[in-house]
Structure 1
Amino acid sequence: MAFESLASRLQSTFDKLRSKGKVSEEDVAKAMREVRLALLEADVNFKVVKDFVNRVKDRAIGQDVLKSLTPGQQVIKVVNEELTELMGGGQSKIATANRPPTVVMMVGLQGAGKTTTIGKLANYLRGKLNRKPLLVACDVYRPAAIKQLEVLGNQLNMPVFSMGDQVNPVEIARAAVEHAKAEHLDYVLIDTAGRLHIDETLMGELAQIKEVVKPDEIMLVVDAMTGQDAVNVAESFNSQLALSGVVLTKLDGDTKGGAALSVKAVTGTPIKFVGMGEKMDALEPFHPDRMASRILGMGDVLTLIEKAQMDVDETKAKELERKMRNAEFTFEDFLEQMAQVRKMGPLDELMNMMPGMNKMKGMKDLKVDEGALGRVEAIVRSMTTEEKRRPEIMNASRRKRIAAGSGTSVQEVNRLIKQFDDMRKMMKQFTKMTDKAKKKGGGFKFPFMQ
Structure 2
Amino acid sequence: MEITYILLGEILGILLLFQFFSSWIVISITLFSLGTVYFFTKKKSILIYIIPILFVIRLVFGVHSGDFDYLENIRLKVELNRGVGKVLKIDNKNLKNLTFVYMSELADGKYNVLGEFKELEKKEDIDIISINRLEVEKLEDSFLEKYFENRVEGFIEKGDRYFKRVYRAIILGESREIPKELREKFNYVGVSHLFALSGLHIGIIIGVISFVSSKFSISRDKRYWVILIGLTLYFLGIKHSPSLIRAYIMGVIFLFGKILYENIDIEKSLAVSFIVSLFLNPISIYEVSFKLSYLAVAAIIFIYPFIIKFYKGKSKTVKNIILIGTIQIFLTPILIKEFGTIQLFSIFSNLIIVPLGSLYITLAFIGLLFENFGLGVVIFPFVNIIFKLLIKVVEIFSNIPMLTIKYSGNKDNTIFLLFYVIIFGIIFYNKFKMEGKKDEKIYRRTKISQ
Structure richer in helix, relative to its length:
2
**Between Structure 1 and Structure 2, whose CA radius of gyration is higher?**
1
Structure with the higher fraction of residues in strand conformation: 2
Fold match, TM over 0.5?
Answer: no
Higher RCO (CA-CA < 8 Å; seq separation 6+): 1
Using the size of structure 2 for normalisation, the TM-score is: 0.26
**TM-score scaled by length of structure 1:** 0.26
